[in-house]
Amino acid sequence: MANQKTLFSLHMKDVVIVKPSKPTPSVTLSLSTFDNNPGLNILCHTIYVYKANLDYPNGQHQLDPAHVIKEALSKALVYYYPLAGKLITHDDGKLRINCNGDGVPFLEASANCELSSLHYLEGSHVPTSQKLFFDNPSQDETSEHALVFKVTKFLCGGFTFGLGLSHAVCDGFGAAQFFRALAELASGKCEPSVKPVWEREKLVGTILKEPLKLPMDETLKAVSPFWPTTEISHECFNLNGQIIQRLKMRLMKEGDKSVKDSFTTLETLGAYVWRSKARASELSSEGQTLFSVAVGVRSLLDQPLPEGYYGNAFVAANVVLTVKELNERPLSYVAKLITESKKLAFKNEYIRHSINMLETMRKYNIRIESTGASLILTDWRQLGLLEEVDFGWKASVNIVPVPWNMFGYVDLCIFLPPSNLDPSMKGGVRVFVTLPKASMPKFREEMEALKVMKDWELMREAPS
């Protein structure tokens, strides 16, 4: 990806700690049941890519992005003061956040090349991306930072912004809300347009009395000859709007008369990616495979969460099929099941039961281990991170998730908005997947099939 003639390297400055610009409350805050999901107790890294601002008059020195972001961060932490604290595990096993104003570790770096030589991280070359974020620098093993930053400046005047944020504190919508507030303060606003709200007690569950029923029986899970393994591949696939529309039309023609409305992109592409992953993983035919997509619930509860709530607020909409069914049933049937699972997840009773399930699983230390038999999908396309976040360098041209060990890597799939680098991708989707290295070539074939096959070939029912 990078120009191999010049070895990409960075010069690092010393880490600085950015503190809130004004005094903040000194308290210990509890987290919700969603936040206490053990699978979310990780630092999620995302890299935002900004080109140089060419609108400055000739001879005028461009603003230093690291300085601008540091100043904005200091102001933002007055409102988002929990992010300046440390996560701690209480005696009851639950996470809390110690709001002590410790501050946020901030690392500044300079690269020896232009962003164009890295293709603005298009394609998400993981070894390169990993140099552009700041891993958790906490020296205290009993607590960790909820937020870390790294700004890397390039010779062209562009920069990357590596954001590491605890998933136990924010979900995607919460992270986007914080990031927009940061940009607003950087652009000169006195305060964020949306004020943050904590109120995590609104999403605390109770222990279930009835036996716990998981979406998929662990003993019936399909198995893959490629898992377990330490050889993991990460790849991002670009699918333009025409490809997706063509697949939608085929599913509509293939579906029965009960399908009155077009499938969404998530339902259409989710079904195809799920089937492709199962084929690429060579999952055992009679075993079960799970499709699970995160559904935001902020406005769905009987008492909707207040605007500004930035904690985790999503449930899983699940579909379980045998691998044989997934392979042999029409893809429209699979997409319809995804549609129905989402409708169920919209119901208040389902949401409350999901919270109680998580609370019960946490209490009895029930963990669902990754086996490669599931597809856990999260959709970043509606977060507005490529259109709305301007620190003075216009909107970012790319956003790249750095792989983190969430759902055991191999179960996680992210739908990303297209970067702003390729006009032909308007209306398209970038599909980011992590798979065992041995299964990636077959998955790549499945993705390429969408681009080159004739319409009728897309609807093949049996694996090739």
Q: How many CA atoms lie within 13 A of 439 on its CB side?
A: 25
3-class secondary structure, 235:
strand
* Cα–Cα distances in angstroms (integers) from residue 287 to residues 101, 209, 220, 290, in the given order: 50, 29, 6, 10
Q: What count of Cα atoms within 13 Å lies in the side-chain half-sphere of residue 290?
A: 25
Task: State residue 449 phi and psi, 5-degree precision.
Answer: -60, -30
Strand partners, 322: 288
Please say if 35 is a catalytic residue. Answer: no
What is the dihedral angle through the alpha carbons of 216, 258, 415, 385, rounded to the nearest 10 degrees?
-120
Helix intervals (H) in 144-283: 172-186, 241-254, 265-280
Q: Which residues contact 254 (CB under 8 A, 6 or more apart)?
A: 330, 331, 332, 459
C-alpha to C-alpha distance for 68 and 119, rounded to whole angstroms: 25
| Contacting residues for 454 by C-beta, under 8 A, at least 6 apart | none
Paired tokens of 409: 């890597």
Do the beta carbons of residue 68 and residue 206 sit within 8 Å? no
CB 105 within 8 A of CB 140: no
Specify the amino acid at residue 22.
K
User: Does residue 167 have an active-site annotation?
Assistant: yes
26: Cβ contacts below 8 Å, ≥ 6 apart:
99, 100, 101
Helix (H, G, I), strand (E, B) or coil at 73: helix
Residue environment code for 220-237, b if the CB has 16+ CB neighbours within 10 A, otherwise e = ebbebebbeeeebbbbbb
Q: Active site residue: 35, 45, 145, 167, which one?
A: 167
For the annotated catalytic residues, the residue numbers are 167, 390
